[in-house]
């Protein structure tokens, strides 16, 4: 059997994309709440446009999302019915520390997640918790400028200590930052950064990166101190860059772009800044704000496992007039060998095996695929069913390649959580109509609908996959 007996099959969500209840249980406001659906969204999430409060001109899908705040018990029951061994979710920082810099946490927020973890325990589902999934309290952005400020490390450290202490014995698997490399591409989401006029953007980004890397190492340290059973992972928006062809210029370009992403994981997993990045920063005249003790912290508190999202591979070509393709924020040269989803993301199951091998060769630590899936338009039929065969085909093909990575290549893999196991708000577009779930949620892009949950055909398919530990795809 390729997958280990205790393989962690499950699904993944993020608080801001499913929870809603943005003003309940004393919760504060976060960057992710104020990103609207519509044409301003991209400029805001990439830090080009300032938007730190609600206004009447926009619709904010995260305010209610799929209202998991009130439906979590029902949703967990459906996950259990599918046979989930794990459920990846994130905590809303502002539910625990509404402003982010308080000395004491908000008990209502802590109790909310505790109830979820207790229910998981009852159902035999191991929680896999992302500490921050693109969220940063608005107060920290306004007062400190987000992760460009070193003080963020202390606030994050306090959050980490609070949750590791409170949820000891209930949660064992933790991820420090969702898709940490997204910081370079979507800095408002990745680091609460809005650029000021005249700023050296690269400098701001790499200072923020240094602070997040330190915060991640600090959280790893605290997690291990509080409970040696804790396992902490880093999280990468992965998908190897292929060279467009064997032109050495393109091969080198692919290496360069791969390093740009892997740089974060290099630090989190190996414990030091790679020489290629130090040289690049030197050329750009950027000095990292390294203080006494920083390098030791990074070196001594590396992650236990490597987790990543995989939606597609990417293509590197120096010549800039090549056709482009969409993807999660990353723009890439189109691969002529691949088909695309309705949102233009290219579909490459073999790329998952390739990406897994790259990561395992480089780090030699267990891997965890914590996001993968197909964003597609679903159609609710008259008889109330949803036949999402396209999703089944996508996932079966990816799981088959993942299986080869384990069985043939010998990659050590802890588990697989498909993205958006229940339909939720898209991070990139703010749409509901870009659906990833095994469970349909009756809600549209403008926030209308009953929020009713309906299992799709893929629900029963995934149930069988889990039951047979990936044998029957």
Establish if 371 lies at the interface with ligand BG6 (CB under 6 A).
Answer: yes
Both tokens assigned to 326: 């969409």
356 vs 406, which CB is nearer to ligand BG6? 356
Q: Which stretch binds ligand BG6 (CB under 6 A): 277-285, 394-402, 404-412, 428-436?
A: 428-436
Q: How far is the CB of 86 from ligand BG6 (least distance, A)?
A: 17
Establish if 426 lies at the interface with ligand BG6 (CB under 6 A).
Answer: yes
Q: How far is the CB of 186 from ligand BG6 (least distance, A)?
A: 9
Residue from 137, 415, 428, 455 in contact with ligand BG6 (CB under 6 A): 428
Establish if 430 lies at the interface with ligand BG6 (CB under 6 A).
Answer: no
227 to 286, contacts with ligand BG6 by CB under 6 A? 237
Residue recorded with tokens 């370009």: 253
Q: Which stretch binds ligand BG6 (CB under 6 A): 196-204, 361-369, 402-410, 421-429?
A: 421-429
302 vs 307, which CB is nearer to ligand BG6? 307
Q: How far is the CB of 99 from ligand BG6 (least distance, A)?
A: 24
To the query of whether residue 371 is one of the catalytic residues in this protein, the response is: yes
Q: How far is the CB of 17 from ligand BG6 (least distance, A)?
A: 6
Q: How far is the CB of 272 from ligand BG6 (least distance, A)?
A: 26
Residue from 31, 86, 94, 178 in contact with ligand BG6 (CB under 6 A): 178
Q: Which stretch binds ligand BG6 (CB under 6 A): 255-263, 268-276, 289-297, 420-428?
A: 420-428
Residue from 20, 105, 375, 455 in contact with ligand BG6 (CB under 6 A): 375
Q: How far is the CB of 445 from ligand BG6 (least distance, A)?
A: 13
Residue of 212, 371, 401, 431 with catalytic role:
371
The count of residues interacting with ligand BG6 (CB under 6 A) is 15
Footprint of ligand BG6 on this chain (CB under 6 A)? 14, 17, 178-179, 237, 309, 328, 371, 375, 419, 426-429, 434
């Amino acid at each position: 059997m390729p997958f280990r007996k205790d393989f962690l099959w499950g699904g993944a969500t993020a608080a801001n994309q499913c929870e809603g209840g943005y003003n309940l249980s004393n919760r504060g406001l976060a960057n992710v709440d104020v990103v609207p659906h519509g044409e301003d969204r991209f400029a805001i999430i990439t830090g080009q446009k300032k938007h730190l409060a609600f206004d009447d001109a926009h619709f904010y899908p995260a305010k209610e999302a799929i209202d998991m705040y009130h439906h979590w018990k029902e949703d967990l029951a459906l996950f259990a019915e599918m046979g989930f061994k794990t459920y990846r979710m994130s905590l809303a920082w502002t539910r625990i520390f509404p402003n982010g810099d308080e000395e004491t946490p908000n008990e209502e927020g802590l109790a909310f997640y505790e109830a979820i973890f207790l229910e998981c325990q009852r159902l035999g589902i191991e929680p896999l918790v992302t500490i921050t999934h693109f969220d940063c309290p608005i107060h920290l952005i306004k007062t400190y400028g987000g992760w460009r400020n070193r003080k963020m490390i202390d606030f994050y450290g306090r959050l980490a200590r609070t949750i590791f202490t409170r949820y000891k014995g209930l949660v064992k698997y933790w991820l420090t930052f969702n898709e940490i490399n997204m910081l370079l591409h979507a800095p408002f989401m990745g680091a609460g950064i809005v650029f000021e006029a005249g700023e050296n953007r690269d400098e701001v980004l790499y200072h923020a990166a240094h602070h997040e890397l330190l915060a991640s190492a600090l959280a790893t340290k605290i997690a291990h101190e509080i409970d040696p059973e804790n396992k902490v992972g880093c999280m990468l928006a992965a998908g190897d860059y292929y060279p467009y062809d064997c032109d050495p210029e393109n091969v080198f370009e692919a290496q360069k772009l791969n390093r740009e992403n892997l740089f974060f994981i290099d630090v989190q997993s190996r414990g030091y800044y790679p020489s290629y990045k130090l040289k690049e920063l030197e050329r750009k005249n950027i000095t990292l704000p390294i203080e006494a003790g920083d390098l030791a912290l990074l070196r001594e508190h590396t992650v236990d496992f490597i987790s990543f999202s995989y939606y597609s591979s990417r293509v590197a070509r120096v010549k800039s007039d090549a056709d482009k393709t969409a993807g999660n924020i990353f723009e890439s040269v189109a691969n002529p060998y691949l088909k695309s989803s309705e949102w233009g993301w290219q579909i490459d199951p073999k790329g998952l095996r390739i990406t897994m091998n790259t990561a395992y060769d480089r780090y030699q630590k267990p891997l965890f695929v914590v996001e993968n899936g197909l964003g597609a338009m679903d159609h609710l039929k008259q008889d109330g069913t949803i036949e999402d065969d396209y999703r089944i085909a996508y996932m079966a093909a990816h799981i088959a390649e993942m299986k080869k990575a384990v069985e043939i290549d010998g990659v050590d893999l802890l588990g697989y959580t498909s993205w958006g196991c229940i339909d939720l708000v898209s991070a990139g577009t703010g749409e509901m109509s870009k659906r990833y779930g095994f469970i349909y949620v009756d809600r549209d892009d403008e926030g209308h609908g009953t929020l009713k949950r309906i299992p799709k055909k893929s629900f029963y398919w995934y149930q069988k996959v889990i039951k047979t530990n990936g044998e029957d795809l």
